[in-house]
Structure 1
């Protein structure tokens, strides 16, 4: 027996005993790799769209839906409008007049583009502007096209106001800023932004401009458009890159829901502190509609922010052509 045959040596055995080259990081498989962002957002868009359609069908075309809308926001006596008998009508109309000012809306859209430009998310800012304008156009088209049948309900009219354009634009503006902000800043804007959208929704109901279902429809419409816009941004090369590739965000669904619940409680408490006579000056039905609309608005905004929790829509900084120390070998 020769010395050569006593010690079998192969290329693979030698390679397996050698340490990896300096600076080379072995790629370790992870069981927590997130699903592709684009399909998740498209699936969420379909869910929001189905919820929007069901809300419209239930509250616009069925007797129980119209009856619930009328129960929450009853018409004034002797066939009057839906303006509520409360001292908050004046402040509500002031809020709607302020938000409906074209100069303010132009400034908010300009700020959206500026934030996107400063954060290398100009394309996301442009998509956000298109999303806001699309929400306004879609809400107006739906109100004009959808018929509201007369189902012989005393507290209902045949005038269709579903969905609310004011609420749709307000929610779309908030969600558009979620596209141009970095991930850490979204959560700081989500709660006060959702509170602002809730105030606008409450103002439309107190002033008698919209029903409860209209407010909910406006929020669902904007959430649908947001998911579609985010999916489009995530589908481009390098778009929607996660902050920590290959790993899910550390926050869980339960913690997000708990934060939303705490935010709703804080919102209601702040409303009572600022306007201590709110519960006394507003009837039980409208008050229930306001609280329910605020809760559903926060839920929709929370879901939207949670979906893009680990995504960053900043433009790619460029691709390196020469491997450097620390690169991962394929």
Structure 2
């Protein structure tokens, strides 16, 4: 050992430590905040849709061009043989008995899957969405802009489409992650069918159906955010259960193809029985439904929304005596 040396002798100097990987961008943002942001985006899109299609001349004109009225001062019922089946679909879905049975099914599935709290939130989410849709429809004024294919009667957003979207997403709250992906396509097809029925029967315009989907998705994201924050596991969905975003996009594209095919099978005369504008409106609403529902399901793909479990009390070892 040399005198005056400031370096330790007989000790190995530590080598360079391996760099720690930076957290992924999705991991850095809690799931609750992402769901809250998605809900705000949905509400903003809903407000923009209402502002454009209800309050402006181009928006009212586009609504009338896609779904023109039968005559000046007449209704929006389309001249097609599908009017009767459309009204049957709406009457069936609007039955209080069926709606009560579907809401009860949400609670039953939630109880069986130990997600009773999520089931209660899902039922409340559906009721809240329907109430908000009715309040907006009553409070939102529709100015008379002297458009021949438009009326001052406001029907934005569609209560039927809002209820259908919220019901579908209520089941997403109580189902496990692997089962949600199997429900996306048939559920979106059902919502698209009800939206198409409202437009064919002349109950709602194109913007009304689009607003109903946006409102249902926004309320779902808000309810899911509340459940995630209550559980306290905001990063639970960062596990690679649902695959990469590219896989999600691929599945979404395949879902759109299946959705169009399902509509063609359920309504084989759709393309030849309605006008081009109505067909465009139905296809666009169906595609938007598939994209939005698929996106929110991908967002919560691996999140367990079961009731939070109380931690088990462990016996204390500090008071044990040493013999």
**TM-score per shorter chain, which class?**
0.7 to 0.9
Q: 1:250 to 1:142 in 2, by over 3 A?
A: closer
Query: Which portions of structure 1, spanning 4 or more consecutive aligned residues, are displaced by more than 4 angstroms?
Result: 6-10, 320-323
The alignment covers a number of residue pairs equal to 303
Q: 1:236 aligns with which of 220, 230, 234?
A: 230
Equivalence for 1:141? 135
Q: 2:142 aligned with 1:128, yes or no?
A: no
Mapped partners of 1:90, 1:236: distance in 2 = 46
3-state SS in 2 of match to 1:167: helix
Mapped partners of 1:29, 1:123: distance in 2 = 37
Mapped partners of 2:104, 2:153: distance in 1 = 34
Equivalence for 2:244? 252
Unaligned runs of 5+ in 1: 14-27, 324-330
* Preserved CA contact (<8 Å) 2:63 2:206: yes
* Preserved CA contact (<8 Å) 1:239 1:316: no
TM-score relative to the length of structure 1: 0.86
Q: 1:209 to 1:87 in 2, by over 3 A?
A: same
Equivalence for 1:70? 64
C-alpha displacement at 1:251, in angstroms?
1.7
Q: 2:41 aligns with which of 42, 47, 50?
A: 47
C-alpha displacement at 1:253, in angstroms?
2.3
Equivalence for 1:319? 311
Q: 1:283 aligns with which of 275, 281, 305?
A: 275
TM-score relative to the length of structure 2: 0.87
Unaligned runs of 5+ in 2: 2-7, 15-19, 316-323
Equivalence for 1:180? 174
Q: 1:155 aligns with which of 149, 154, 164?
A: 149
Q: How does 1:192-271 map to 2 (within 5 A)?
A: 192-238=186-232, 242=236, 247-271=239-263
* Preserved CA contact (<8 Å) 1:241 1:313: no
Q: Deviations over 1:107-161 (max 9, x none)?
A: 1001101111111111111111111001110000011000000001000000000
Equivalence for 1:115? 109
C-alpha displacement at 1:277, in angstroms?
2.5
C-alpha displacement at 1:165, in angstroms?
0.3
Q: Deviations over 1:29-57 (max 9, x none)?
A: 77447231111111111111110000000
